[in-house]
Amino acid sequence: MKSVTIILASMLVLLSCVEVKKIEKGTDEGNQVELEGVEEISKVGAPKNEERPTLVFSETVSLFIEKVLGENQRKYRIDTASTEIRHIGFFSRDELVEVIAFFDKRNPQEAEPTYYENFLLFSLRYTRAESAKNAYESIKKTFELSREEIEKLSEEERKEVRRIQSSAKYGGMIVQQGEYVFSLVETCRNTPVGGKWEEYEDLFLSFITEKGEEIGVLNANCGDMKYREEKRRIIL
């Protein structure tokens, strides 16, 4: 009887061990599945970030300037309230926090040029993307005014409109991306890198847009005296 009791006790201990192992194994497997699920979510999310990184426009613009001018580039930080460079006055100063102009240091005019055609690019940064968009839209609407609409304005308003419209004399392209408004300088001469002006514009846009992204731009050719909005999509 004593031996039977010992045998039964041994069997109970053995069964208990087996159950404990099952519970432990189940817990481990449950944890493994949960961890694998988290890992899979991370794996799904990561490629999206890699494929579409957030563009830092101050950096991408610097890369464009580097490509065009190389070691001959110069950067000129302009006071947002400055009136020395007439072209800056065409843009809204509402929430404008920074203006940087890029130019070729080989420019024979002066150390810090003041004429539009002596620059390569103007970069205007606003506090918010909405403010930058408003600045872009303001210029767009000014060039959409008909002669009849302009005549109905006050004398002071007419002068301001004509002053802004004169900015299209040499041509150029104005683009808004995020909190930035960029004014790409164009002239009636050759582009800084050779080739056609449209190709030069596409080169610039390739630095500030994602591949295949459609963007609205205000574009003016030399002598047109008018900026017109176009939709552009760059695939390079």
Percent of the chain at pLDDT above 90? 56
Residue 54 confidence (pLDDT) above 50 = yes
Do 120 and 171 belong together in one domain?
Answer: yes
Tell me what pLDDT residue 108 has: 65
Lowest mean pLDDT, pick from 21-35, 36-50, 202-216: 36-50
Mean pLDDT of 1-11: 44
Cβ neighbours of 28 (radius 10 Å): 10
pLDDT, tens only, 162-206: 888 888 888 999 999 999 999 999 999 999 999 999 999 999 999
Domain count within the chain: 2
* Residue 159 and residue 45 in one domain: no
* Domain extent for 48: 1-52
Do 208 and 136 lie in one domain? The reply is: yes
Greater model confidence, 20 or 153: 153
pLDDT at 38: 31
**73 and 170 together in one domain:** yes
Instruction: Give the DSSP letter string of 25-65.
Output: HHHHHHHHHHHHHHHHHHHHHHHHHHHSPPP-HHHHHHHHH
